[in-house]
Structure 1
Amino acid sequence: MPTVDQALRAAVRDDEAAGVRAALAAGADIEAHDEHRRTPLLIAALGDHVAAAQALVAAGADPNAQDDREDSAWLVTGVTGSVRMMRTLLAAGPDLTLRNRYGGIALIPAAERGHVEYVRALLRETDIDVDHVNRLGWTALLEAVILGDGGPAHQEIVELLVTAGATPGLADGDGVTALEHAQRRGFDEIAGLLRAVR
């Protein structure tokens, strides 16, 4: 017979909001950790189980609780690029300055991975720090250029970041700017965007 905490996690994985509410009503711990210290809300965010996440947020789940990899439900949205999950978790008042194991905030992995709609929504709907620097010495702008492919998605993200006030001249730990990285990698469109705002 599964415990109520196990029933809660199962309902989350199946994205069953009614099951989530029933498990909580039966006494399940809304912040119960699994073996990797993942809470039910983090499990929901990882699987993009929005209905389950909505039920958990409505019941007061913590969007900032971090697992043994320093991921949180909020931070994971930057990796998955789920705008619906991002908006669901915004209702829980997440800490926009919370850092992952690389010292980055949610915007940075989203920029790296080319999640255009997520970056657009995050910049429009929050006051997240567009110039946050992670442990590697990279901002979202630098990461989009250094780890991106230079294609249309990353071009659009660079434009979104610059329009939102990102500082193009901020250099990495070696003193190399996003423009210089773009030129070195042959990203002509991105280099043109960055030259236009210097």
Structure 2
Amino acid sequence: MLIRFIVAALVLTAPVASAQVAPDATEIAAYQGLHAAAAAGDAAAVERLVKNGAALEARDKGGRTPLHVAVHLKKADAARALLRLGADANALDAQAYDIVTIASVADDVAMLKLSLDGGCKATNITSPYHGTALIAAAHLGHDEVVRMLIAAKAPLDHVNNLGWTALIESIVLGNGGARHTATLKALVEAGANVNIADRSGATPLTLAKTRRYADMVAILERAGAR
């Protein structure tokens, strides 16, 4: 009962995707220069403005660069142009999110590939929770994104400041459904440590059993979880 109480309390204070803040309609309408071009997805304007001296790393009130804006708004042509022209692929916004984490939370596989190819590192520590893009994607059950991040050498066993790994988040913040189960399976097959416990001492196997996630339990037991 104590473990269940602690886990429930942690879930109530867990990070959610809305911790990332995309520019809203008012902000977008007020953008000028490179931020406006990025928001519009206008690659030609991006190129023209940069050649005329526009600052690639200019920040809006949320600490977002034009590249952050392009990724948030799914403007691939603008993002590609910004990266080609030298935008910092690993820049963090005011909440410490990079473009790989933004794309991962959005389940935007194409933008994630563009971001990784453009030099953003899957190893970056991001978010107010000192996590990674892999942890964020595992939390949401974005299994294809998880596999891409694993291939990009994302740290499998990083522990965020809530005391959770990607594997733990796939359980405690998941729903036990097909995509979260596929996420956990991908992490286990990649070599994630199945016995790192949370701060209450509960192991992934205990957490999965508590929630009656039978498919997850079976995967963990086959991998030697205790």
The answer on 1:168 being equivalent to 2:181 is: no
**Residue pair 1:43, 1:73 contacting (<8 A) in 2 also:** no
Instruction: Name which of 166, 178, 183 aligns with 2:204.
Output: 178
Deviates more, 1:143-152 or 1:92-101: 92-101
- Are 1:110 and 2:140 counterparts? no
With the length of structure 2 as denominator, give the TM-score of the two structures.
0.81
**Residues 1-198 of structure 1 correspond to what in structure 2 (within 5 A)?**
6-95=32-121, 96-124=123-151, 126-198=152-224
Structure 2: unaligned runs, 5 residues or longer: 1-30
Unaligned 5+ runs, structure 1: none
Tell me the CA shift for residue 151 of structure 1.
Answer: 0.2
How many Å apart are 1:43 and its aligned residue?
A: 0.9
How many residues align? The count is 193
Q: Over residues 21-77 of structure 1, what are the superposed CA-to-partner deviations in whole Å (9 max), with x where a residue is unaligned? A: 122122211100011111011111212221111001101111222222122223212
Rounded Cα–Cα distance in structure 2 between residues aligned with 1:37 and 1:142: 30
Which whole-Å deviations, capped at 9, do the CAs of 1:89-127 have from their partners, x for residues lacking one? 223322423222101011001011111111111212x11
Q: Percent identity?
A: 38
**Aligned CA-pair RMSD:** 1.4
- 1:111-156 CA-partner distances (Å, limit 9, x unpaired): 11111111111212x1111111100110000000000010000010
What stretches of structure 1 move > 2 A for 4+ residues in a row?
91-95
Please say if residues 42 and 72 of structure 1, whose CA atoms lie closer than 8 Å, have aligned partners that are also in contact: yes
Tell me, yes or no, if the aligned pair for 2:98 and 2:126 is still in contact at 8 Å. no
